[in-house]
């Protein structure tokens, strides 16, 4: 019991090796994927936007190629160098690189034998997470929903009245 730490969210004792708090679901540290074994001939490639002289044209091309929104495409151009496409075959990667070269952008191709470990989960301060299935697909149970439940089911709806959140993935309420 001497090596337990306090959860920053609920102040309960938890293991220092815990990925998330078992009581409130607060993430403790990033989970990381295991490194992929190095392959001699890469089978998939990633594209990295190094620099561009025409940011607006680069944003338009990023949106066209990746189907991202305006904000995400702008974030890519603001945070150069940035990897913006993953797991492409060499023919598609070369065609996309040539399109970027036409507008004056520098894009490099990185084979999957040079991949890095990237976080699979990014912790946010205001993240609500289901303690049952660890999903972030959660909604707050509204007062109108609680009142409708009482009107329809009466005393049998008491289980919903004292709950605040509901997971849309597994249906768990807490």
- Average pLDDT of the chain, as a whole number: 77
Q: Which residues pair with 107 in a beta bridge?
A: 49
Question: What domains appear along the chain, each with residue ranges and CATH number?
Answer: 1-32 (no CATH), 45-114 (3.30.1390.10), 128-174 (no CATH)
Residue 112's Cα: distance from chain center in Å? 21
Write down the pLDDT at residue 40. 60
Q: Where are the alpha helices (DSSP H) in 8-117?
A: 55-66, 70-78, 90-102
Write down the pLDDT at residue 164. 79
Write down the pLDDT at residue 60. 92
Kindly report the pTM of this predicted structure. 0.43
């Amino acid at each position: 019991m001497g090596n337990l730490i306090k959860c920053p969210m609920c102040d309960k004792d938890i293991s220092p090796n815990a990925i998330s708090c078992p009581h409130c679901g607060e993430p403790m540290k990033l989970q990381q994927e295991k490194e992929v074994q190095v392959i001699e001939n890469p089978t998939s490639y990633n594209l990295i936007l190094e620099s561009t002289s025409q940011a607006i044209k680069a944003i338009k091309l990023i949106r066209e190629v990746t189907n991202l929104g305006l904000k995400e495409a702008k974030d890519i151009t603001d945070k150069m160098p940035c990897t913006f496409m993953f797991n492409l075959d060499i023919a598609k990667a070369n065609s996309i690189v040539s399109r970027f070269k036409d507008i004056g952008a520098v894009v490099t191709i990185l084979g999957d034998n040079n991949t890095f470990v990237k976080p699979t989960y990014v912790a946010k301060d205001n993240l609500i997470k289901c303690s049952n299935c660890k999903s972030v697909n959660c909604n707050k149970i509204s007062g109108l929903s609680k009142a409708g439940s009482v009107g329809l089911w009466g005393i049998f709806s008491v289980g919903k009245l004292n709950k605040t959140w509901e997971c849309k993935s597994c249906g768990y309420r807490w």
